[in-house]
Each structure stands twice: as C-alpha cells, then as structure tokens.
Amino acid sequence: MTQVKSAFEFISSTEVSSLNLTVEHYQHTKTGAVHYHLAADNQEKVFMVALRTMPKDSTGVAHILEHTALCGSEKYPVRDPFFMMTRRSLNTFMNAMTSSDWTAYPFASQNDKDFDNLLSVYLDAVFFARLDELDFAQEGHRVEFEKMEDPTSDLVYKGVVFNEMKGAMSSPVSQLWQKISKHLFPTNTYHYNSGGEPSEITNLSYEQLKSFYSSHYHPSNAIFMTFGDMDVAEMHEKFDQQALAKFDKQEQQWAVPLEQRLAAPIRVEESYAVETDNEDELKDKTHHVIAWLLGESANLKEQLEAHLLSALLLDNSASPLRKALEKCEFASAPSPMCGLEDSNREMSFMCGIEGSNVGDGDAFEKLIFEVLNDVAEKGVAQEEIDSVLHQLEFHQREIGGDSHPYGMQLIFSGMSAATHYGDPVAMINIEPALAALKEDSKDPDFVGHLIKDLLLSNRHFIRLSLRPDRELGAEELRIEKSKLTKMKAELSDDDAQSIIKQSLALKARQEQEDDSDLLPSVGLEDIPTEIKYPEPDDEATRKAANVSTASTSNITSYSTGTNGIVYQQLITNLPPLNAQELQLLPLLGYTWTEVGAKGDYLEQQQKQAAYCGGISSYASIKPKAMNDDNQQNEMLAYYTFSGKALASNQQAFSDLMRETMLQGDFSDAERVGELAEQISARRLQGITGNGHGLAMQIAAAQVTEHAAMMSDISGLPLTQRLKASFGQPSKDQAATLAADLQALQQKVVSQPTEVLLVQDKEQLAAHAQSVSPWQQDYAEAPFTIAPADAKTLASSASHSYWMVDSQVNYCAMAFPTVNQLHADAPALSVAAGILRNGFLHTAIREQGGAYGAGASQDSNLGIFKFYSYRDPRIEGTFDDFKASVNWILNDAKDESLVEQSILGIIGSMDRPSSPAGEAKLIHHAMKSGRTPARRLAYRQGLLAVTLADVKRVMETYLLGVEGKKAVLAPKGTSDIAVKLGLNAIEL
C-alpha cells in the first residue's frame, strides 16, 4: 500500500500534563497555514479556522464579511448554508465571530459524520465564499424606500449588522471600550471599531468588502486549531484537498504594528447618549477610566506578570485598588473597565469608576496614583501574592465546558498568541512559566518594581471621562435622517428605480426555496437513542473509600474526572417567605458571599482568594414535574451555596463554605450599600445585551402567576426597584437593607441542609470527611405563596412596554401551553424550531433587518414564546409572529421541517458540560422531578413527532389566541405603546 505524503509538516509536540492533553504543531507546506491540534481523550471534537483581519476604519468590514461569507459558497451555492446547517446538524456549538484583529469560524460536534459535514461547509464558506452583492445588502447595509415600491416615501437604512451594532453601541460600556481603544491606540487597527460604528457602516462599499476578502481570507493568513480524539493525518488530507491545495503561498504577513508610544499622557472627554428631558438625570452618570498600554501579549512571562499585578490590585474587595474604587466618595461603583486586556498585540491595564461627575476627573486620577505609589512603596504581603498564584493555578487546571465547549475554551486561550505570530502552545501550557513566576515573586521588591515599570513610569496612558449627553442621541438620528434626505433629493428617476429594483431582487432572493439537498446532513438515524447521565456514588464506591453511608444520608457525591478540583454545594429548602422577602432574594444572592462572616468582609475576601476558586449563592424557584396535566405544578424552592477549590485545599475550603453560609454578617451597612449600588449599575448596563430574554420574561409574566413572580424578582421590575432605591442609597436605606438581608439570611440557614460533592474518585474520602459537620436529616419541603403575596408580585406585570436606553427594539409574545410531562410538549418544541427555521428567520432577520428572531416552548413554565433581538421594527414583527402560525398551518408541507427541528433540539440537549457541571445538572434535575426516565420519555416523544402533530398543537394552543405582547424600546416611543394598547413605563 502506497504511503501518501502529508501536505503538512510536523513541527513539534508538547505534552501538557496538567490538562491531560498533547499540543501538536503542524504547518501546511504549500501555503504556510498553521495547524495546532490539542489531542485529548474527549468525545467532543472542536474545529476552528481563524484569519487575521485588521481593518483600517470603523465601517465594520471584517464583521460584515464574517456575515456575508456564510451566505453561500462555490460548493454550496445556497443562500444561507450556515443557518441551514444549524438545522441539518447535531452540532454542540456553531458560530462565527469578529474580534479586534481576527475573525474566527468555530464549531463542535460529538458525531463524526456531522463533524465532517460541518468541516466541508466551513472550509468552503471561508475560502470560496460567493459574496453575492445582495447578501452584502442584506447583512451589511442598504437603503430602501420606507414603502418599498413607492419612491415618494422616505429612504431608510437597513441591514443586519447595521442594526446589530446600533443595539451593541446602545450600551455605555460598549462605547466606553471603543473610546478607550480609540485614544489608547492612535495609529493602529485597535483605534477602530472592528464591529462597525453605525454612522460609518453605511460608507462601506461592496468593492471594499471583496477587496478585504481577497487579501485577508487566504490560507497563508489562516490559523487552524482543533481539539479532541481524531485522526490528524486524515484531517490534514481534508484540509488540503477541500481548500488549501487550491492556493499558492501569499508572501504578505498580516501583523499589527506596535503602537507609537505617547510622550505624555492624554486626558480626554467624550460623551454618550442619554434619553431624558430632566437635567437632574445627568447627574452622577459620568465614567472615568485610566488605561495604560503595556507590553506584548505573546510574551508569556510579561503576560503572567501583568495578570499577577492586575489581580493583586483589583481581584477582590480587599485588593488595594478595588478597595479604593469601591470606597470612592465621588462614584457609585468601580467601572466594568477594570483589569488586564490581553487579547490585543499589546496588553492594556485599566481601572475606573462610574456614577461620577465630569469635575471629579482630577480627584479620581490623584486617588489612583496615591494608591499605586503606596503599594509600590510598602509592597504586598507574600500570602496575598500566593493567593493570586493559587488562582492562576486553579484556572489553569479547571475543566470548563459549561457555557462553551471545553476544547474551544483551550483553543481560545492560545488564539491571541497565534494571531500575533507568538507561541500558542506556551499559552496553553503555562505551568513552566507559572513556576518561574512563583520564584521571581519571592523577591520582596518584585511587586513594587512591577508597579513602577508597568504603571508609574509608563507615560503611555489616557484618562477618559465619558459624560452623559441628552442631546447626542437626537443629533445622531438627525444626522442620519439628514444624510438620507440629501441622498433622496439627489436621486434621479433611474437611481430611485435602481433602489426599488435591488429591494425587490433581495426580497425575491430571500423568498426563494433553495435546494437543501446540496448541503450534507445527518438524519434521525444518527441520533443516539439514549444519553448517559452521571450517576452518584453507590454504596460500594463509598465503602471502598471508607465513607460511612449511614452517617451521610444528606450527602450526595459524584466521583468523576475533575482534574484535581473539588466542587461543593450546600442546599437548603426555602422557608415560607412573604412578597418583600421574595423580592430581596436576588439581592441576598448577590451580597451574601461579598460580606463578612463574623466580622470584616475584607478578611473574608482574602480567605476566598487563598482557599478556593470562588463561592456564589442563589435561590431557585421552579415548578416541580409531578403530572402531565395543564395545571401549574407544585413549586420547588431552595437556596444553593456553590463553591470550588483545589483538592489540596479541600478542608480549608469546606470550613470556609460552612463559615460563609452560617455566619454571613450583614452588619456593615456601608458595605451592603456599596454592593447594592454596584448591582444596580450592572443590571442597568446589561439590559441591551439580554433584551430579548427580558422581553420574553415580561410577556410570560402576563400568562401565569409563577412567570409573573419570576419576572418581578429577577427581571426588569427588580432593575427598576434597584435604580429607584439603591442607585445611590442613603445611610438609612443601606441600614434598612442590611437588616432585612440579615433577617432573611437567618431564615434560610435555619432550614435543613443537603450537601452535594463532586470530585475525582481518589478525593472522595477526604472530601466527604471535610463536610462531616453537615451530617443531618434532610427532606425536601413544598413551597407555596400566599394569595396576597402572589398578587403583589404579579402587579409589576401590568407594564408590558419598557422604554430603555437603546437604539433598537426587542419584541416578544407569549401563549399558555403545557409542561414538559404533557404529551403535547415535544410537538410544541418541534413547532418552535420549524417556525424559526421556516419563517421567522427570513421574515424578521433577513427581510426585517433584526439581528435575530425565533420561538421557543418553555415547558418548565408551560408557555410558548416568540422573540426578536436588536430589531428595527415593532408592529411589523408582531404581524410576523402571527403570520408564522398561519404559515405553519397552511404552507408548511415538508416533513423534513420536523426532522430539521428535532436535530437542533437534540443537539442542544446533548451538548456536554464539564464533568462537574453535568453532575450538578443531573442532581438539580432530579430534585425537580426531571428524572432520566422522564428525560428519555421526552426524547422519545420528540423523535415520534410528525408534521400533523405540529399542526395540531399550533391549532390547539396558538390559533385564534391573543398572545401577550411585550416590548423593550427606545425612550420617547410611548406613542407606539398606545397604538399597540400596551402599558408603557420608562426605566
């Protein structure tokens, strides 16, 4: 048999024992494309190809190209292969993303056939994109007449990225980041907004997009990274035959030039839009941030030193700089822009405050340098340095995967170094450099020298003051409309007809039926019939570890591969609570682990840094799966303390968990007030990032009492209360809040406690022994709410139109349906996928210009929901929600629509978590009655759904039913609320 010579040259292999993997480095001989493979015994396979993309303006060329490249390729000439593959695949992750200097196309799958299918589509999309001009108009920007075929109507801008960035840049924090970058990097690519500034996106031409593609999307500029258990030689053959062999080497190297250093600091003032008619609303709304430019991120030694310094100064409330920012008398909270940014070629360190005023800039700068000089002169205690080194070691060792695939997490840890022609292997295998840092840090002058070298003697820093401007938003809108008015006035008849012609051509393209058989697919036969769940340690396992089963009846343990980390949860039943106490629950969760125990909170913060990888607490209130009728289930309510630590620290960690929970001390009212201010600010800043989720919550609140309660205690009503009462709490308010939280904490800890342990098998005995003081009787208790309290909590559902600081809308509609045990639940879930795939994506995203739209069946609440995300429309979107129901009943005739929806649902259900995450998930599912047997029954129910079933449930639950509407919209749009018959409120 002839040995085929590989198109790739082997460069090196590095074992990373702390992560149980090996990093292999290869290079494509012909083009120079690099490939890093993380060989690991993991069933989830991850692929990513990234291109260095370095825009020279803020037109969003790299971002729009990322979207447009996924709209059809040579081998797959369909209009939207990316979105079509999401419903022809069992992927566990599939996306594309644009950063400041790279664009990446990653996916993950546990199915070999699916992996190969996605690889073929991704390689063709990246290297052989069609870049149709109509796709550029749809995804990037275009002008249309407001009434498409009426040239006398106004011109409007449309485009998915245009509206996406209007939504993204509505956030003051996003604007803060972009303006810091603009001034910190005056000459290179980081000066610009790679996502695109809405006011500049419309300047990008189709020819510029194609030129950027031809120069940047080339194998010589590509970085391939993979993870998992796979045949590398076979993979190389696919890379080469499907893409790389068709290119010659490109000699140009795409490297970001080092920034020209400033001779003197820059102090600058910028503004952000705030919609208000009240001058007083502008008070205490200014952000102040200082940002320094540091060394190169690809230098691991310098990067670890910068991380060490950043953590020592800012990691927790006991850290000197964070302590000063939290105690600052002329600000409400530390800025979100605090810490080290290490993804660019040159790192930056930032610290700042929010809730301040323009005139406080000098005092802020003085405060920062006083703290830095003080720390540089006095140094830092060795135990504090050891605590930070402990955190670095913890995060290096922990197996993630609960939010993104673990392999992708590792890939991205090396991505920045690969982008800047550094060594990504070193960034993945940091143990040697970490060991060297431990030795260096023993020098008592080490931290002082770091502060002086990186900050005090570094003149390349900026101080940015970002102030509110109530006229800015209106002026930006006026400029946009003026530009369109001028454009229309200069249109010839031929120009007007060209716009109409393009609009109609795009509409026809969006409505055309592509031949989906051109794309590869998996089928229902490729779906595993069962899914394995982790099982708790049985009696034999416990006996083998010398753990007494009789004395640990309230302790459940899972022994699974956690790479030397132990996880622990302390779970108590929630006692009967009134409406006010229920509304306080989220605040209790936010503050409990941030206050002291038996006294000083600073000491408690230091203990957490020294002994564990973090402690959090939260309440859970959810229906318990008990029967399959359409009635509200019995509620299950409990409170969870959750933490994790290196196994070497497990006794100290267990003691700390117990102490923090039982002896939480809210007596420091000033501290409680500070935390309430910070929470209020973060929730306000997070609205536009989760606008669709909040809109669905508001819509659902009008459907059931339970949904109303959850909206009141965790949604916008909570944000409204925080803003009104704790935006800047008085001493009396803080003292009252502290007393109320202490009383609530005492009620929670008075309940019996259940203990959940997760660890490596060899750590079971020691971990169980460390929690032996918790041995007690435990039984779950039902949870009910008094009718008067339920009425109080539901009262906030009267507001269904919330006006917020946003340039775009978020729409939702909700309908009552059934819980997950009902026979119709699987068909409703499949219907949601069909609506998204077959109608809503085209109508609301492609034609309407929203960034996203879809539907979901929430079987926990028994509610069916529609949503749109970063949407320029409101009324048209609600029309489309309604039209989608008629479409599925009258026009959906292809049974393959059902299969495609099922594939998406199963792929999501089978998405793996971390070993610890999977153990915790199954334990909490079991508590609420979602047993493996019931999950299997639901899975089998999904596989049995037919198109007839889907139409029947649509007819039963949605047809002719007036869904409950909800909208998050820009301020000043109450006239639309009146038109829709919705009750408006401004936040």
Retrieve residue 65's tokens: 């190209």
What is the predicted pLDDT for the residue at 77?
93
Q: Is residue 136 part of a domain?
A: yes
User: Mean pLDDT over residues 257-262, rounded?
Assistant: 95
Q: Is residue 531 part of a domain?
A: no
Same domain, 101 and 235: yes
Measured between alpha carbons, how far is 837 from 833 in angstroms, rounded to an integer? 6
User: Mean pLDDT over residues 571-583, rounded?
Assistant: 94
Same domain, 783 and 843: no
**Cα angle value 181/183/189 (rounded, 5°):** 55
User: Mean pLDDT over residues 815-831, rounded?
Assistant: 94
Write down the residue that tokens 């068709």 correspond to. Answer: 246
Secondary structure letter of residue 359 according to DSSP: G
Q: Is residue 911 part of a domain?
A: no
Retrieve residue 843's tokens: 């109508």
Rounded alpha-carbon distances, angstroms, from residue 863 to 313, 702, 828: 47, 11, 10
User: Mean pLDDT over residues 588-610, rounded?
Assistant: 90
- Residue 972: pLDDT above 50? yes
Same domain, 420 and 503: no
- Residue 523: pLDDT above 60? yes
Least confidently predicted of 87-91, 236-240, 542-546, 792-796: 542-546
Number of residues in the chain: 987
Backbone φ and ψ for 155, nearest 5 degrees, come out as: -80, 145
Last residue of a domain, one of 728, 761, 788: 788
User: Mean pLDDT over residues 602-611, rounded?
Assistant: 90
Same domain, 588 and 513: no
- Check: CB of residue 289 under 8 Å from CB of residue 364: no
What is the predicted pLDDT for the residue at 465?
97
Q: Which domain holds residue 213?
A: 8-249+491-518
Same domain, 299 and 227: no
SS (H, E, C) 184-244: HCCCCHHHCCCCCCHHHHCCCCHHHHHHHHHHHCCHHHEEEEEEECCCHHHHHHHHHHHCH
**Cα angle value 454/456/461 (rounded, 5°):** 75
Which three-class secondary structure state does DSSP give residue 253?
A: coil
Beta strand extents in 231-320 (DSSP E only): 266-273, 286-296
User: Mean pLDDT over residues 816-829, rounded?
Assistant: 94
Same domain, 502 and 576: no
What is the predicted pLDDT for the residue at 725?
84
**Cα angle value 293/299/301 (rounded, 5°):** 100
What is the predicted pLDDT for the residue at 1?
34
Q: Is residue 762 part of a domain?
A: yes
User: Mean pLDDT over residues 524-539, rounded?
Assistant: 86
| Residues 224-256: tens digit of each pLDDT | 999 999 999 999 999 999 999 999 999 888 999
What is the predicted pLDDT for the residue at 630?
52
CATH of the domain at 747: 3.30.830.10
- Residue 3: pLDDT above 90? no
- Residue 542: pLDDT above 90? no
What is the predicted pLDDT for the residue at 514?
82
943: left (phi over 0), alpha (psi -120 to 50) or beta: alpha
> Sign of the C-alpha dihedral, residues 812, 816, 818, 819?
positive
Same domain, 311 and 218: no
- Residue 632: pLDDT above 70? no
Last residue of a domain, one of 724, 757, 788: 788
Same domain, 341 and 452: yes
Confidence of residue 2 (pLDDT cuts 50, 70, 90): very low
- Residue 552: pLDDT above 70? no
Q: Is residue 3 part of a domain?
A: no
Same domain, 401 and 505: no
Same domain, 617 and 509: no
How many domains would you assign to the chain?
4
Backbone φ and ψ for 379, nearest 5 degrees, come out as: 80, -175
Beta strand extents in 260-391 (DSSP E only): 266-273, 286-296, 333-334, 339-341, 346-356
Rounded alpha-carbon distances, angstroms, from residue 155 to 148, 443, 878: 9, 66, 23
- Residue 194: pLDDT above 60? yes
Same domain, 276 and 331: yes
| Residues 473-514: tens digit of each pLDDT | 889 989 999 999 999 999 999 999 999 999 999 999 888 888
Mean pLDDT score across all residues of the chain: 92
- Check: CB of residue 379 under 8 Å from CB of residue 448: yes
Q: How far is CA 772 from the centre of its chain?
A: 37
| Residues 5-53: tens digit of each pLDDT | 799 999 999 999 888 899 999 999 999 999 999 999 998 999 999 999 9
Confidence of residue 633 (pLDDT cuts 50, 70, 90): low
Which one, of 651, 699, 674, lies nearest residue 595 by Cα?
A: 674
What is the predicted pLDDT for the residue at 753?
93
Secondary structure letter of residue 872 according to DSSP: S
Question: Max Cα separation, the chain?
Answer: 88
Q: Is residue 967 part of a domain?
A: yes
Q: Is residue 936 part of a domain?
A: no
Secondary structure letter of residue 709 according to DSSP: H
What is the predicted pLDDT for the residue at 4?
55
Judged on CB neighbours under 10 Å (0-12, 13-18, 19+), 731 is: exposed
Retrieve residue 223's tokens: 């970085």
| Residues 916-969: tens digit of each pLDDT | 999 999 999 998 888 888 888 999 999 999 999 999 999 999 999 999 999 999
| Residues 401-452: tens digit of each pLDDT | 777 899 999 999 999 999 999 999 999 999 899 999 999 999 999 999 999 9
**Cα angle value 89/811/953 (rounded, 5°):** 55
User: Mean pLDDT over residues 656-667, rounded?
Assistant: 95
Which one, of 195, 168, 176, 279, lies nearest residue 807 by Cα?
A: 168
Last residue of a domain, one of 483, 518, 553: 518
Measured between alpha carbons, how far is 218 from 215 in angstroms, rounded to an integer? 7
Rounded alpha-carbon distances, angstroms, from residue 550 to 756, 763, 774, 903: 16, 19, 13, 44
Same domain, 365 and 345: yes
Q: How far is CA 616 from the centre of its chain?
A: 18
Q: Is residue 530 part of a domain?
A: no
